[in-house]
Amino acid sequence: MKYIEEFQDPELARRLLDDIHATVTRPWALMEVCGGQTHTIIRHGIDQLLPDQVELIHGPGCPVCVTPLEVIDKALEIASRPDVIFCSFGDMLRVPGSGRDLFQVRSEGGDVRVVYSPLDALRIARQNPAREVVFFGIGFETTAPPNAMTVHQAKKLGIPNFSLLVSHVRVPPAIEAIMTSPSCRVQAFLAAGHVCSVMGMAEYPELAARHRVPIVVTGFEPLDILEGVRRAVRQLERGEHTVDNAYARAVRPEGNPAALAMLEDVFEVTDRAWRGIGVIPDSGWRLSARYRDYDAEHRFSVTDIATQEPAECRSGEVLQGLIKPHECEAFGTTCTPRTPLGATMVSSEGACAAYYLYRRLDLAPAARTAPLEASPVV
């Protein structure tokens, strides 16, 4: 298949579904790691087409959702300064900090700009040498390489007024944390294909063997998801637990060597807090000592900001697959895309946003009479 539409072919989807139905003999719980996969599943109703015995649990793979509240507060503090141009992808502007969001900072006079690439921020830094330009570098193994390359470029070109507010996280330690949690119900993973296209698959066999859990590298179109489920269920029924690449059109076992070299040069592995989940050892990156001058946290002395997460938002449980979004009391009532209490309702990859946008009948009873809104994501 060559074109995206072919990966949504209803006849092929029916055949895969028939195979899954014929294979399953008992209940299984599979976690799709990536929020993009969650949106495909909910948007196309894939979870409703699967056999009742196959439950899809939504994972923590939404970059906006897992960015900790205290990092948002650091961004708000830096963006409020008159000498700063704060650059970010649009999704981050409505993510609530402890008191406000980046939109509010902008309405109060802060120079907050939406960019589509970290290189746009570097260009703005070159055009505005008298001001400090900060790029909000969040996300998984997919966004870390271009951000690393931008810092590398800034150093190479001698651009002193550029820095990165770093909150990068890594998937394999999150899988480890999920599997070692006492409340874990996950029996197989659909691993995020784009992450593996960068990192390769070398980190997964040890995880699969130690936790006796199948890991199927999976893409993002409906047929990708169904094929991932089919392969995972086949392994589960046979009692196998290997790493399987169902996204070979994009993923090579060794990943992307150029991207890996850039990560190795600019970042070093560190413990990271995940919003709603807490600190996971070795689960993130920070700038290495050679690039510490480009670290916005140090440049603007915001390392001491620490924030408590609000109790009413249950996004930590959503991100670990412990509850479904509509099981949160606030879902669709006090928490909507326009009045979000948590990032999972804001992000275009957030599970709460997916349920809100595509699952009207699953709204909590009190919310069914309230009008639904379109996503405000910029």
Measured from the CB atom, the residue of 20 and 318 that comes closer to ligand SF4 is 318
Q: How far is the CB of 319 from ligand SF4 (least distance, A)?
A: 9
Q: Which of 305, 331, 337, 367 binds ligand SF4 (CB under 6 A)?
A: 331
Q: Is 314 among the residues that bind ligand SF4 (CB under 6 A)? A: yes
Q: Which stretch binds ligand SF4 (CB under 6 A): 112-120, 137-145, 169-177, 330-338?
A: 330-338
**Closest among 266, 270, 300, 265 to 284, alpha carbons compared:** 270
Q: How far is the CB of 317 from ligand SF4 (least distance, A)?
A: 7
Measured from the CB atom, the residue of 130 and 311 that comes closer to ligand SF4 is 311
Q: The tokens 């590398």 sit on which residue?
A: 152
Number of other CB atoms surrounding residue 350 within 10 Å: 32
Q: Is 69 among the residues that bind ligand SF4 (CB under 6 A)? A: no
Measured from the CB atom, the residue of 201 and 363 that comes closer to ligand SF4 is 363
Pairing of strands 162-169, 278-287: antiparallel
Q: Is 277 among the residues that bind ligand SF4 (CB under 6 A)? A: no
Q: Which helix (H) or strand (E) holds 154?
A: helix 144-157
Q: How far is the CB of 351 from ligand SF4 (least distance, A)?
A: 8
d(CA 317, CA 273): 15
Site string for ligand SF4, 71-100 (x = CB under 6 A): ------------------------------
Residue ranges in 337-366 that form contacts with ligand SF4 under rule CB under 6 A = 340-342, 344-345, 352
Measured from the CB atom, the residue of 228 and 350 that comes closer to ligand SF4 is 350
Q: How far is CA 192 from CA 37, 132, 255, 257, 361, in A?
A: 8, 35, 13, 18, 28
Q: Which of 315, 320, 347, 348 binds ligand SF4 (CB under 6 A)?
A: 315
Residue 303: both structure tokens together: 């390392």
Q: How far is the CB of 277 from ligand SF4 (least distance, A)?
A: 13
Measured from the CB atom, the residue of 261 and 366 that comes closer to ligand SF4 is 366
**Closest among 70, 40, 33 to 170, alpha carbons compared:** 33
Q: Which stretch binds ligand SF4 (CB under 6 A): 4-12, 14-22, 179-187, 309-317?
A: 309-317
d(CA 207, CA 144): 22
Q: How far is the CB of 302 from ligand SF4 (least distance, A)?
A: 25
d(CA 141, CA 171): 8
Q: Is 335 among the residues that bind ligand SF4 (CB under 6 A)? A: yes
CA 306 distance to own-chain centroid: 22
d(CA 177, CA 320): 9
Q: Which of 190, 330, 354, 357 binds ligand SF4 (CB under 6 A)?
A: 330
d(CA 313, CA 5): 37
Contact 230, 20 (CB under 8 A): yes
**Closest among 5, 4, 8 to 16, alpha carbons compared:** 8
Q: Which stretch binds ligand SF4 (CB under 6 A): 126-134, 137-145, 214-222, 322-330?
A: 322-330
Q: How far is the CB of 93 from ligand SF4 (least distance, A)?
A: 16
Q: How far is the CB of 325 from ligand SF4 (least distance, A)?
A: 5
Q: Which stretch binds ligand SF4 (CB under 6 A): 15-23, 100-108, 242-250, 308-316?
A: 308-316
d(CA 362, CA 34): 22
d(CA 351, CA 264): 31
Contact 230, 188 (CB under 8 A): no
Contact 232, 30 (CB under 8 A): yes
Q: Is 194 among the residues that bind ligand SF4 (CB under 6 A)? A: no
Q: Is 325 among the residues that bind ligand SF4 (CB under 6 A)? A: yes
Q: Is 328 among the residues that bind ligand SF4 (CB under 6 A)? A: yes
**Closest among 288, 285, 277 to 344, alpha carbons compared:** 277
Residue ranges that bind ligand SF4, judged by CB under 6 A: 313-315, 318, 325, 328, 330-331, 335, 340-342, 344-345, 352
